[in-house]
Structure 1
Amino acid sequence: MHDGILIIKTGSTLPALRQQGDFEDWIRAAIAPISAWVVDVEKGQPLPAVEEPSAVIVTGSPAMVSQRLPWSEQTAAWLAEAVAAATPILGICYGHQLLAHALGGRAGPNPNGREIGTVRVELNAAQARRDPLFEELPADFAAHVTHEESALKLPDSAVRLAYNGHEQNHAFRVGSSAWGVQFHPEFNAAITRGYIFHKRHDLYRERLAALDILRSVTETPHATRLLSRFAHMFVSP
């Protein structure tokens, strides 16, 4: 048995950024003092029974959900069981798309292309104001992003909570305690700048204004607090 939150690790950050930590390190920092334990599913580590974790956070990944990799599909099946068992879940970026896929939605390349940097996210106010995780957020807030794929179709039972002009499904909830967020609440401005810098050649090739995107990076306190709020909703320090 483990105490705290289970972090399902679905991949690692860019090699050049690992001196700053990795997804699970940034999540741990955001939810402290609540403890966490990690299962690296990309490396084949087995997941526990779905009833064992008090809550679950699923990380981002450089992989693509649409690739249907064996470890990813196995994790999707586990997530579907966990949702059925009412285990609290927060999926981030890849985890968000994987959760949607697991529950009957669809993930794939965003027709608008890459989204990267610090962006504005808008609440679907009618739903978000009644959501226990999102209810205290402002009507729009800054969030860090880096993704090429999206949850293109949400599960039939999902409630859409947030969006913007680039990404129609920035956040959703299924049931009473399973959420997905396309943005990265665990990122800070330095991490986001690192992603922009190390992907600058891709941005130039895609005719995106890398320097303008870099200059627009700010901290995202409202998005970051979602992690701590989620953790404290389900686990005692």
Structure 2
Amino acid sequence: MNKIVQSHGIPFTYHWVSTFGTDSLDFIDEASGYIIFGSDSNVSDRLPWQIDLSKRMKAKIEAGIPVLGICFGHQLMADAYGATIDLVKPDNRCFEGTRKQKVLTDHLGFKTNEELEIFITHHYEVKNLPQEFIHLSTSSDCFYDGLAHKTKPFFSFQGHPEASRHFVENHIESKLPEEQVLSGLSGGNRVISNFIELVRLTSV
């Protein structure tokens, strides 16, 4: 969150819905766009705040308001549109570090064959493509690494494009080479910049 504000200089509000619920979303003016971040919980938990957030964000998407899903947010919205979410590996292996992925189609500012390296830390993944979605990007470790809605201003990634150096130091156990960190920061900035441009274009 701090990285986004510092890098792009645009106003954000942060709502810690997993702790305080979604009511705070009712007390702000309509936002130009929404980002659903990661969570320590799983979509399969079906917690009240998850169910409410899913309904709220799907309504925003259907209304044409840009939404970006990150990690849990990627899974939450895929689930909302009918996808199955499950462990990447039966042994509950945690995938962490960075991961290179290839963009599969020209869509929402991304270009076919464009490569992105993004920070990752997750156990779960999207297992199938929702009917109204496009398979945006893929990698050797995660087939549905990136998704997008066919006609609405929504895209999502399993990785953490918002990740800062603080995130890397506190959420990724292995020590990453500086070159890998810089590549992860660059790939993440590409994703966030694309979303901000989508919000700008949609708001015009």
Q: Which bracket does the TM-score occupy, shorter chain normalised?
A: 0.7 to 0.9
**TM-score between the two structures when normalised by the length of structure 2:** 0.83
Where 1:37 maps in the other structure, the secondary structure is coil
Q: What code does the residue aligned with 2:5 have?
A: R
Query: Is residue 156 of structure 1 aligned with residue 119 of structure 2?
Result: no
Where 1:144 maps in the other structure, the secondary structure is strand
Query: Is residue 145 of structure 1 aligned with residue 120 of structure 2?
Result: yes
CA contact (8 A) 2:75 2:158 kept: yes
Paired positions, count: 192
Query: Is residue 183 of structure 1 aligned with residue 159 of structure 2?
Result: yes
Where 2:3 maps in the other structure, the secondary structure is helix
1:230 to 195, 200, 203: 195
**TM-score between the two structures when normalised by the length of structure 1:** 0.73
Query: Is residue 72 of structure 1 aligned with residue 50 of structure 2?
Result: yes
Aligned to 1:118: 98
Where 1:54 maps in the other structure, the secondary structure is coil
1:4-43 to structure 2, matched below 5 A, reads: 24-30=1-7, 32-42=8-18, 43=20
Distance 1:44 1:176 in 2: 26
Give unpaired runs (5+ residues) of structure 1. 1-23, 198-209
Q: What code does the residue aligned with 2:138 have?
A: Y
CA contact (8 A) 2:138 2:146 kept: yes
- The two structures, once aligned, show a CA RMSD in angstroms of 2.4
Distance 1:173 1:87 in 2: 14
CA contact (8 A) 2:36 2:73 kept: yes
Give unpaired runs (5+ residues) of structure 2. none
Where 1:162 maps in the other structure, the secondary structure is strand
Superposition deviation, residue 117 in structure 1: 0.1
Where 2:143 maps in the other structure, the secondary structure is coil
Superposition deviation, residue 92 in structure 1: 0.5
Distance 1:45 1:67 in 2: 17
Query: Is residue 218 of structure 1 aligned with residue 193 of structure 2?
Result: no
CA contact (8 A) 1:115 1:145 kept: yes
Distance 2:127 2:6 in 1: 30
Distance 1:76 1:45 in 2: 10
**CA distances 1:160-209 after superposition (whole Å, capped 9, x unpaired):** 11111110111111123111111111113553243233xxxxxxxxxxxx
Superposition deviation, residue 138 in structure 1: 5.9
**CA distances 1:111-167 after superposition (whole Å, capped 9, x unpaired):** 37321001211221xx2xx212312x8632311100001112231111011111110
Q: Percent identity?
A: 24
Distance 2:48 2:109 in 1: 31
Aligned to 2:108: 132
Q: Judging changes above 3 Å, is the alpha-carbon distance between structure 1 residues 114 and 179 closer, same or farther for their aligned structure 2 residues?
A: same
CA contact (8 A) 1:133 1:226 kept: no
Where 1:35 maps in the other structure, the secondary structure is coil
Superposition deviation, residue 52 in structure 1: 2.1
1:29-68 to structure 2, matched below 5 A, reads: 29-30=6-7, 32-42=8-18, 43-46=20-23, 47-48=25-26, 52-68=30-46
